[in-house]
Structures are given as structure tokens and as C-alpha cells.
Structure 1
């Protein structure tokens, strides 16, 4: 099981979609069990992030620290999402998932 960290955008989304609290919690647990299962590695300016469906119109966007470190993606572009919140990559265990956002498909890729 992976450890979890949540960026402010994700916490804000949890408040916005609190009516889905139970479903979101189950999906987060599923992601923490295996963050690679049914997820899509993102490309270009979002390289280093992963996307996973919540339902047809909503996505989770997150970072798997071990993958980011293995691929040496700790650059300002690939993980500006971690850096902007002053998350020190080296101090985080490899088996950690950093949840960036949860929102509608089109909005999720612009956090």
C-alpha cells in the first residue's frame, strides 16, 4: 500500500464534490493499492503525472513518486505541481502517491 499526500487543489475538489465522498474515498484507496492499474501516464508538459477515471466525465490526476524518481522527472516542468507547493521530492518515500486534482475531464488537465 502506498502512502498519500494531497495538494490544495485536491482538497478543494473534495469539498466541492462532498456528495461523492464515499465513492472518492474508495477510488483513492484503490489507487493507493496499485497506482498503475487502469491509469494513463500523461505526456508533454504533464509528463510525470498519471490520470485515472472516476467515472465517464471525472478524472484523478496524481504523481507516483517512485515512477517520477525512476524516470528522473523531478524537473520544474514535469512536476511543477509538486514544486509549486514546496514538496521536497527527496524527503518523500518512493511508495507515495501525490494527489493533484479531481475534477471534470476537461478541467482536470489545467490545474
Structure 2
């Protein structure tokens, strides 16, 4: 995986039809409209205008930023969930200990004689 500042250019790898359709949809989501056929043509090394290359580079960078943002949000949610589960487990253990201590004190008071 590359960093968001150095995205993989399309000419550096081959792109299947499915991948080109997916890339086209992702590019549309960030405001760059390139047809899947044109993405495949650029990936195969056919000549492209400077504007198309800038658009592709921009779209790749922005989609990588969005993916990184999504991954960080998912990581925070996972940590928050883990923290909540640990707090709940601690509360359950504390309540259990209090109930057990109360039961032990109740049993001890039953065995003592009133005299």
C-alpha cells in the first residue's frame, strides 16, 4: 500500500473491468467523472491528456484520504467499544463481589448466638 501523498498511478498496474468500474464510481464520489473504459485505456498505457492525469492523481489521493479517515474512525470505534466492555465487566465483577460479601456477612450473623 502506498501513502496518500504518493498514490499508485494507473499506468503502473493493470486494471480489470470490475476494478475500472469500481474506480470510476469512487472517482465520481469525489467529483471526478472518468468512464471505466477510459480508465482502462489510461492503465494500458494509451496517451492521456495532462488534465486527465491530474484528475486521476487528484481522485486517487482523495480516495486514499477518505479510506484513511474511514479506517481511523473504525479504529476509534473499536477502542471505544473495548473500553466500554471493560468498564461493564469491571462493574459486574464489583457488584458480584459486593453480593458475595453481603452473603458471607449474612451467613456469619446467622451462626452467632444471641447470648
Query: Normalising by structure 1, what TM-score?
Result: 0.28
Q: Which one scores higher on RCO, CA 8 angstroms, separation ≥ 6?
A: 1
Query: Normalising by structure 2, what TM-score?
Result: 0.27
* Larger Rg over CA atoms: 2
Name the one with the larger helix percent.
2
